[in-house]
Amino acid sequence: MKKALLIVAACFIVAGFASAVAAADVKMVLATGGTAGTYYPFGGAMAKIWNSKIPGMNVTAQATGASVENVRLVNRKEAELAIVQSDTIDFAFNAKEAFKEKLTKMAVLAVLYPEVIQVVVRGDSKIDSFDDLKGMKIGVGAPGSGTEANFRQLSDGYGIKKEDVKAQYLSFAESAEQFKDKHIDAFIVTAGIPNAAIMDIGTQHSVRIINIADNKAAAITKKYPFLSSFTIPANTYKNQTSPVKTVAVNAVLIASTDVKADVAYSIVKSLFEGQNELAAAHAKGKELNLKTASTGVSIPFHPGAVKYYKEKGLMK
């Protein structure tokens, strides 16, 4: 009799955990990015964790055009989960930049890792601060890109107007070539660190990443809550002997608002409990940080995520 009761009790425990995904298999699409980028392999690593740790879960990582497309896929109910940049979801939620209507059928599950805004100048340049960019030729990113928007946000924080700089609308690769040939004085990159383009230039040329002053960073992140302060550790790049203060957008995991709270809770919980596996599968997994997972975004969190972060004392 006691043995039978123990078996019944064990079944209830298992059923309680499995209830997060219901009795039948839950199939989900995770929208990521291009196969050559970071989002796709990182998304695949997360999907593997969910599929192995959550009973009945079946998540498929799908290659996409990244953030802008991913937001639209979730809002059109063509994907349940997606990796996006924190600024892109702000723009979509508030109908700004590339978005002509508000897309609000999405909520945040977790901030995954920072994508750092880096302003690059030559090692011997007289440019010491963002203020010094006035009158300079600057590679500000491709037209309409997130990088270009980030440059405008920094400029706004410093009171620099569009006409104060000679903006060159160039991709990362184009900026790197123009910088090597001394056709531009500086360029901006929004990416994980260390960035390959900056490292490549650093093998042949002396470069520096300029600091964003603390008071300016505070004002910028207050006005643009999808940005957060960030410090690039010393020795991230060649000859970079001191830390560099700047700001960053974040790679964010979002879910459709149609995803049930208990499912979202299990996704977030298993993600953090499986971080060692995630870090082993992808370098960016090491940057996943529970303490910063619920900050640096401007749209609402999913109720299931809120429940988890409250349990961890990170939300009230």
For the chain, which domains are there? Answer: 2-113+251-311 (3.40.190.10), 115-249 (3.40.190.10)
**The pLDDT of residue 36 is above 80:** no
Give the pLDDT score at 24. Answer: 58
Give the pLDDT score at 144. Answer: 73
- Sort residue 135 into left (φ over 0), alpha (ψ -120 to 50) or beta: left
Instruction: Please tell me what DSSP assigns to residue 100.
Output: S
Whole-angstrom distance, CA of residue 163 vs CA of residue 274 = 49
Q: What are phi and psi of 239, to 5 degrees?
A: 65, 15
Give the pLDDT score at 291. Answer: 94
Whether residue 62 contacts residue 298, with contact meaning beta carbons closer than 8 Å, is answered with: no
Mean pLDDT (the chain) is: 90
Residue-wise pLDDT tens digits, 123-170: 999 999 999 999 999 999 888 777 888 999 999 999 999 999 999 998
Give the pLDDT score at 192. Answer: 83
Return all residues near 172 (Cβ < 8 A) that are at least 6 apart: 141, 147, 189, 191, 197
**The pLDDT of residue 5 is above 70:** no
Residue-wise pLDDT tens digits, 61-95: 999 988 889 999 999 999 999 999 999 999 999 99
What is the Rg, in whole angstroms, of the alpha carbon atoms belonging to the chain? 22
Give the pLDDT score at 308. Answer: 98
Whether residue 30 contacts residue 59, with contact meaning beta carbons closer than 8 Å, is answered with: yes
**The pLDDT of residue 221 is above 50:** yes
Average pLDDT on 113-117 reads 92
Give the pLDDT score at 7. Answer: 45
* Range in 41-45, 171-175, 223-227, 256-260 with the lowest mean pLDDT: 171-175
Percent of all residues in the chain with a pLDDT value above 90, rounded to a whole number: 74
